[in-house]
Amino acid sequence: MLADGRSQGGELADFKAILLEHHGATAVVRLNRVEKHNAISRQMADELVRCLDALDADPDVRVIVLTGAGDKAFCAGADMAEAALGRYEDADADAPPIEGGHDWAAQAAVRLVRVDKPVIAAVNGYAYGGGAIFAVCCDIRICAQSARFRFVGATYGLAVGASMLPRAVGGPMAKELIFTARVVDAEEALRIGLANHVVADAELESVVLEMAEQIAGNSPAAIAASKEVIDIATSTKDAGRREFEHNVALRQSEDHAARFRAAAKRVVDRDA
């Protein structure tokens, strides 16, 4: 927690997989599974959605910051060990496609996209898989020099990030990063538009909070209107629906099953 931050009390105080702090009109949401490199569990996804619902409805909150607890990772992506135990799929079979279907990590990402208020990703350490998607779903990305991105969906047989990444880096670069699943360091992220700014690790949160304070001092109504118009101008709704449809089919393939089993086994063996 930052020295001048106050923890969230009341009905949101029971969070375990995330931490919520307030700094004036800025709410800092910290992904908090340090021992798992802040990997996305079902609990984390559920808590993040609930937290964003509350913050979006709170008139005292003007800016939201998303970051990772600890100094090694923003978010390592989906918790593969949990996924290997069969808890990756959402129990609600009627969830509509736009909500991420049965994928609860995708549902949390969709909720990030739909936040009315400006959301800044403070990317500390690596953001892989679903963690990279969380960052891309934010409006602004400020990265520590230690930040690393990797869009890994193709390595386990899914089309992940194909609808959102082009909005940040353009089509050709999005294809390269998704097709190769290679690591992107902070300086390259800045060069290709994946990061707005890169700062020293020790300065990340102070820089982010300074920008958040600057945003919070402007008209909330004008910022909300501007965000809506910019999002319409760069709309990914149809692409997101098509990505969902492809992933429904890909999840049924033996290629995905084999790749997913192998990836999950590596994680389970590593953590054993």
Write the pLDDT tens digit of every residue in 141-197: 999 999 999 999 999 888 889 999 999 999 999 999 999 999 999 999 999 999 999
The domain containing residue 93 runs over which residues? 6-203+220-271
- Establish if 173 belongs to a structural domain: yes
**Do residues 114 and 139 make contact, with C-beta atoms less than 8 angstroms apart?**
no
Q: Is the separation of the CB atoms in 51 and 12 below 8 Å?
A: yes
Task: Please tell me the predicted confidence (pLDDT) of residue 254.
Answer: 83
Residue 209 included in any domain: no
Low-confidence ranges of the chain (pLDDT < 70): 1-13, 84-102, 237, 267-272
C-beta neighbour count of 96 within 10 angstroms: 10
Flag whether 51 is in a domain: yes
Residue 138 counted as domain residue: yes
Kindly state the tokens that stand for 231: 């999002």
Q: Which domain CATH number covers 148?
A: 3.90.226.10
- pLDDT recorded at residue 149: 98
| Residue 210 maps to a domain | no
Residue 181 lies in a domain: yes
Q: Count up the domains in the chain and report the number.
A: 1
Query: What is the C-alpha separation between 257 and 156, in angstroms, rounded?
Result: 8
| Of residues 76, 81, 17, the one with CA closest to residue 50 | 17
pLDDT of residue 85: 64
User: Whose CA is closest to 96, among 232, 244, 231?
Assistant: 244
What pTM was computed for the model?
A: 0.86
User: Is 215 contained in some domain?
Assistant: no
- Is residue 213 situated within a structural domain? no
Q: At what angle do helices 104-114 and 42-57 cross, to 10 degrees?
A: 20
CB of 98 closer than 8 Å to CB of 120? no
Integer Cα distance of 94 and 268 in angstroms = 30
